Amino acid sequence: MSKKQKTFKPKARTPRGFGDRLGSEITDERDMLLRISKIYESYGFDPLETSAFEYTDALGKFLPDVDRPNQGVFSLTDDDEQWMSLRYDLTAPLARFVAQNYDALPKPFRRYAFGPVWRNEKPGPGRFRQFTQCDADSIGAPAPHADVECCMMLSEAIVAAGVSKDNFQIRINDRNVLSGLLESIGIEEGGDQTQKLGVLRAMDKLDRLGVNGVTQLLGEGRKDESGAYTEGAKLSDSQIGRVMNFMAASADTNGQTCDQLSNLIGSSPSGEKGVSALSEMARQLTALGMSDSHIKIDLSVVRGLEYYTGPVFEAEILSDLKDAKGRPVQIGSVASGGRYDDLIKRFKGIEVPAVGISVGVSRLLTVLSLLSQSQNQAHGPVVILALDPERMQDYHAMARELRDHNIRAEVYLGGSGMRAQMKYADKRAAPLTIIQGGDELEKGEVTLKDLILGAKLSKEIEDNTEWREGQPAQFSVPRAQLVASVKEVLARH
């Protein structure tokens, strides 16, 4: 007798670094994107949507710094054997679009875009392999005026997302300043690119790894908690000391920081150019009412992407974030950006000045959740109980009447009894249910059950007599007053 072959059953699991979302997680993001988009539009930016996939050579090797096309990005080959990759940000596709439509576009070209991006990197708290960005970029706009506008607009966008202005800080630096630093430790612009990138990427991890972790990455290397080893930049102790001193050189005011920078790297052509740009940005931002504590020059800001050529920006949350168990959570920057004057040059052969910002919507939602500042309460629709199969048209008429007045409503369609229907309403986080059985129908009434108030009172009232006599969470109204009564209950919450 042959052995019965076992039927394969795949394991239901979510890929590491990815996640499923439901209900308010999606509506919170949708509403946040709408609010940020309105800020961008108020500055005169128009929307643009590009495809999720780009040819890998069009994306360039700005995120992955090795030869493998799938390092840092998710890639596949098309049927014509060309490599395609999921976009790792919204800027590289923009550069391709501008190059492809260059002559037809107004200059400057001002666009905003939002959508998912994908990175084949190690996930962590608030760091996902798929996340949503919301960008705005000015193409054909030279420094520093467009950079100043980006900083102002970024501040307004984060406030619109739901974070108070005193709860975050925008930190700025300039890649030319960093080039001046590299020159001062003996790494020339045309020198060892691997070592240069190693230094910049190590500096960019200061907020996540701290001084000790960055020092290790500037030296021989670092092993993380999982045992994975990252090769270091192989700097000498004296070089490491100069880098760490540079990162700690930010002064109390932006003007003082620029003065210190002039003394540190002002003799370098790159350094002089970077200090001049930061100094002018600081002057304009002050004149526009932006305080040094809100938009601050911070020499530890690097930005890991290699395509930046001038000022770079990051927005950091100032509050100490903790999870539900009280453990500290490191989120990193919630928004970033900078100048990338050479990116379109890869396609066109000419330098096209460009600057942009990118809001990490997924991270901001994580922050708001940790701060208990989510914009939407997790309320589901009003649920109309279906107690008599012969009267379904009446129940649907009630639901339609509520929807006509912009109230989310649904009729229970599960085919179960009243107890199961009430459990369903609880699982749907319904704010209230509507009941019309035979008694209510005979009286021309409907019964409303306020589930939010009922849950609250059930914790406060312990005496059954008091509960039966009060019943403030359940009451009947004439059928004609259905909409007004539902609105009144919803207004309580």
Quick one: three-class SS letters along the chain?
CCCCCCCCCCCCCCCCCCCCCCCHHHHHHHHHHHHHHHHHHHCCCEECCCCCEEEHHHHCCCCCCCCCCCCECCEEECCCCCEEEECCCCHHHHHHHHHHCHHHCCCCEEEEEEEEEECECCCECCECCEEEEEEEEEECCCCCHHHHHHHHHHHHHHHHHCCCHHHEEEEEEEHHHHHHHHHHCCCCCCCCHHHHHHHHHHHCCHHHHHHHHHHHHHCCEEECCCCCEEECCCCCHHHHHHHHHHHCCCCCCHHHHHHHHHHHHCCCHHHHHHHHHHHHHHHHHHHCCCCCCCEEECCCCCCCCCCCCCEEEEEEECCCCECCCCCECCCCCCEEEEECCCCCHHHHCCCCCEEEEEEEHHHHHHHHHHCCCCCCCCCCCEEECCCCHHHHHHHHHHHHHHHCCCCCEEECCCCCCHHHHHHHHHHCCCCEEEECCHHHHHHCEEEEEEHHHHHHHHHHCCCHHHHHHHCCCEEEEEHHHHHHHHHHHHHHC
pLDDT at 3: 67
**Any idea which fold 382-492 has?**
Rossmann fold (3.40.50)
The Cα 140–Cα 106 span in angstroms is: 9
Instruction: Provide block-wise average pLDDT over 10 residues at a time, the chain (493 residues).
Output: 77 91 88 96 96 90 48 86 92 95 95 94 79 94 93 96 92 91 81 79 83 92 86 90 84 89 81 92 94 92 80 90 75 90 92 95 87 60 94 95 94 92 92 94 95 80 54 88 94 86
Taking the C-alpha atoms of residue 327 and residue 32, their distance in angstroms, rounded to an integer, is: 27
pLDDT value for 69: 47
Q: How far, rounded to the nearest angstrom, does the alpha carbon of residue 337 sit from its chain's CA centroid? A: 13
Indicate where the chain has its CATH 3.40.50.800 domain(s): 382-492
**Which percentage of the chain shows pLDDT scores above 70?**
91
- Looking at residue 465, its pLDDT comes to 55
Structure confidence at residue 377 (pLDDT): 52
Question: Into which CATH architecture does domain 24-370 fall?
Answer: 2-Layer Sandwich (3.30)
CATH 3.30.930.10 residue ranges in the chain? 24-370
pLDDT at position 366: 85
Quick one: residue 299, left, alpha or beta (phi over 0 = left, psi -120 to 50 = alpha)? alpha
Q: Which residues contact 354 (CB under 8 A, 6 or more apart)?
A: 95, 137, 138, 139, 140, 141, 339, 340, 341, 343, 344
CA of residue 39 relative to chain centroid, distance: 16
Neighbours of 389 (CB within 10 A): 8
β-partners of residue 357 are 136, 337
Alpha carbons 478 and 428: distance in angstroms, whole number: 26
Nearest partner of 144 among 288, 278, 287, judged by Cα: 278
Q: Which residues contact 39 (CB under 8 A, 6 or more apart)?
A: 153, 156, 157, 160
Handedness of CA 415, 416, 422, 425 (dihedral sign): negative
